[in-house]
Structure formats: C-alpha cells, structure tokens
Structure 1
Amino acid sequence: MEPRQETDDTASRIIVSGHQVDVGEALRGHATEQLDALAQKYFGGAEDITCTFSRTGNGGFGCAIRVHSGRGLYFDGEAEHAVAQAAFSLALERVAKQLRRRKRELREDKPVNPTRDGVL
C-alpha cells in the first residue's frame, strides 16, 4: 500500500491543467510522470509543480511549467509547438536546465569539491 500513498502525495503537489484546453488523461499522466521524475532527480523533490497547457494564436499549443523547490526558489519554463506533448517536452527541458545549473552552482560553492578541482 505504500506505493499508492506516494502516488496520492504526488498528485496533490503536481497540478496539470489546461487554459481553454481539455487535457486528456494520457497527456495528464505523461506530464505528471515526467514532472515527478524531474522533482525527484533535483533536490529530492519539489514543494509544488504547476503545468498549464493553452492554445496559441497560430493553432498550436503552449505549455508553461513552474516548479517551486522551496526557500523562495521558482523555476519557470515555457514553450510553444504544434503538438501538445512536444510543447511540454520543450518546456520541461528549459526547467531541467535551470535546475541543473542551480544544483551545479550549489555543488561548486563547497570549499572542498573534487569535481571543481579536477580530481575526477
């Protein structure tokens, strides 16, 4: 039963919605799964994640992702594409790049760092 509780907790902190767009269960499940994996990879989780799909003026889809990882840290990513999943993937890449850079920045700030000193 513990894996079920983790899923319920994940669903309560990851919000996938559509602005004048009906987000299907397949897209919602894919987005939730990818966002949860991203949250676990960086900083061991996030306080809350919001993903919003919308229509663009030229017939495509827009996706905006906002990750709140605590202590006033917010990471935003937006993208547009003709396909909703592609827009999501592009926005997710942008957020992942910001998280990766922030994590590297924190790691390189340590006084003794074998990665920074070139030992590894």
Structure 2
Amino acid sequence: MQPKPPTDGDAASRIIVSGHQVDVGDALRAHATEQLEALGRKYFDKAEDATCTFSRTGKGGFGCTIRVHSGRGLYFDGEAEHAAAPGAFAQALEHVAKQLRRRKRELREDKPVNPTRDGVL
C-alpha cells in the first residue's frame, strides 16, 4: 500500500507507516500517523518526514522502529519491542519524544540571555 502524497505542501509532512513482513491494519496505521503528526506539532512546526516500521520479533511479539527527520540533518530514532504492536509503537514514540525534548531544551538553554537559566525569572 502506497502512502498518500501530502495534499498541502506547507501543512503536511510525509509520514510512512509500514510493516516488515507484517500486515499493518488501517486502525494501527491511522493511530501511528495521528501520534506522529501530534509529536511533530508539539516539538517543531512540522517534521520533514517520519518513518514507522513494524516487524515481528523472534519471541512472538512485535518490534517498532521510528525515525523522524526534522531537517538540517537532524534524525531522531526510537526502537522498542512489546507483545502487542500498539505497545511497541508507544514505547518507541516515547524514546523519540525524549530525544526531541532534550534537543529542544539544549537549544533553549544555549541562548546567551536565558532568564530561566540565570535565575532571573
């Protein structure tokens, strides 16, 4: 199944949800797309692209790999395994969110005048 191309180049980013030897259902695909869009809106205007791949593990569970490209050569990766595919996705998404949160804090605290860092606030 081919991903839909963005309809509006300014507002939409490219999000690909696929399965590696796993059939990804419409509900899981919609949930993953919605969560990745929300993550993009929270930490930056929009991500250039995000890729989410589901696979089976050798233990009978599911693995999920997420890669978000936010531009300027910045890539954020998250990987997790769980007994259920939505659980694996949630854990991998949390790994990516943590990386984004830390990067945003690092950029914010790097400013020459930062009232929260200097204790002026």
Question: Normalising to structure 2: TM-score of the pair?
Answer: 0.89
Q: What corresponds to 2:37 in structure 1?
A: 36
Partner of 1:79: 80
Change (3 A) 1:12 1:103: closer
One-letter amino acid matched to 1:75: F
SS of match in other structure, 2:23:
coil
Between 1:78-87 and 1:39-48, the stretch displaced more is 39-48
**CA RMSD in angstroms, aligned pairs only:** 2.0
Percent sequence identity over aligned pairs: 82
Match of 1:27 in 2: 28
Which residue in 2 is equivalent to 1:102? 103
Q: Which runs of 4+ in 1 moved over 3 A?
A: 5-12
Offset of residue 45 of structure 1:
1.2
When normalised by structure 1's length, the TM-score is 0.89
Bigger helix fraction:
1
CA contact (8 A) 1:17 1:52 kept: yes
Secondary structure, aligned partner of 2:69: strand
**Number of equivalent positions:** 116
Counterpart residue identity of residue 92, structure 1: L
Q: Which moved more, 1:68-77 or 1:36-45?
A: 36-45
